[in-house]
Amino acid sequence: MIFNKSDIFKDELQEVQTAYLDIYEPLGYSCYAVSAITGDGIAELKNAFHSKVNLLAGHSGVGKSSLINALEPGLKLKTGDISRQHLKGKHTTTFAEMHPLSTGGYIIDTPGIREFVNIDFKPTEIGHYFIEIRALMNQCQYNNCLHDNEKDCAVKKAVEEGKIHAQRYYNYISILRNEDIYR
Ligand SMILES: Nc1nc2c(ncn2[C@@H]2O[C@H](COP(=O)(O)OP(=O)(O)O)[C@@H](O)[C@H]2O)c(=O)[nH]1
Ligand SMILES: [Mg+2]
Ligand SMILES: [Zn+2]
């Protein structure tokens, strides 16, 4: 989990970052607060990425290409101005591209999140990609439970008990209902 643009995380934004760290760190995800502009945290990222095949996914404009440039200045990937992107609906990176890292391994730049979310998941498969939902789904009453309106759902029970973070459940339901927030 990478939190880029840490140079502009101040005051309320700092709290937002902390709130996300509190969701993802307990789930076992390594979290990195970095800045492609100041270089903060880039050394740690380099360390985590070396000798692996890494892929950056996230909304257009979050700084994926800028981060890769910070890791590998020689690549000189095109980066975009967010406001202009929004006005013209233009994405700077138009297809996924794999680049070798000088530390060994590779990094894949992607245009955004849309292409991943558009993959046709069966509704019953979505829960497999949430590790905390996956861990409980066998305890649901129905083996095809979507953890939505079903009775005796172990996932919903865990959300009510605070064992699954409400934000994560909300994200799950949004993907299940094919909502637009991740596009
Ligand atoms: N303040 C700040 N701006 C950044 C940072 N990283 C990227 N940007 C800016 O965010 C915009 C989008 O960056 P880009 O790398 O094209 O995003 P991508 O669409 O995810 O590849 C550009 O204007 C970058 O200069 C950062 O760490 N801090
Ligand atoms: Mg890009
Ligand atoms: Zn369930």
Average pLDDT for the chain: 88
Q: Model pTM? A: 0.83
Q: What are the residues whose beta carbon lies below 5 Å from ligand 2 (ion)? A: 65, 92-93
Tell how far the Cα of 21 is from the centroid of ligand 3, in angstroms: 26
pLDDT tens digits, one per residue of 10-63: 777 888 888 999 999 999 999 999 999 999 999 999 999 999 999 999 888 999
The three-state secondary structure class of 6 is helix
The residue type found at 43 is A
Ranges in the chain annotated CATH 3.40.50.300: 2-112
> Ligand 1: which of 79, 90, 92, 107 to mutate, judged by most atoms within 8 Å of the beta carbon?
79
CATH topology of domain 2-112: Rossmann fold (3.40.50)
- Which whole-number Å values give the CA distances from 137 to 26, 74, 127, in the listed order? 19, 46, 8
What pLDDT, on a 0 to 100 scale, did the predictor assign at position 59?
87
What pLDDT, on a 0 to 100 scale, did the predictor assign at position 30?
94
Domain 120-182 class in CATH = mainly alpha
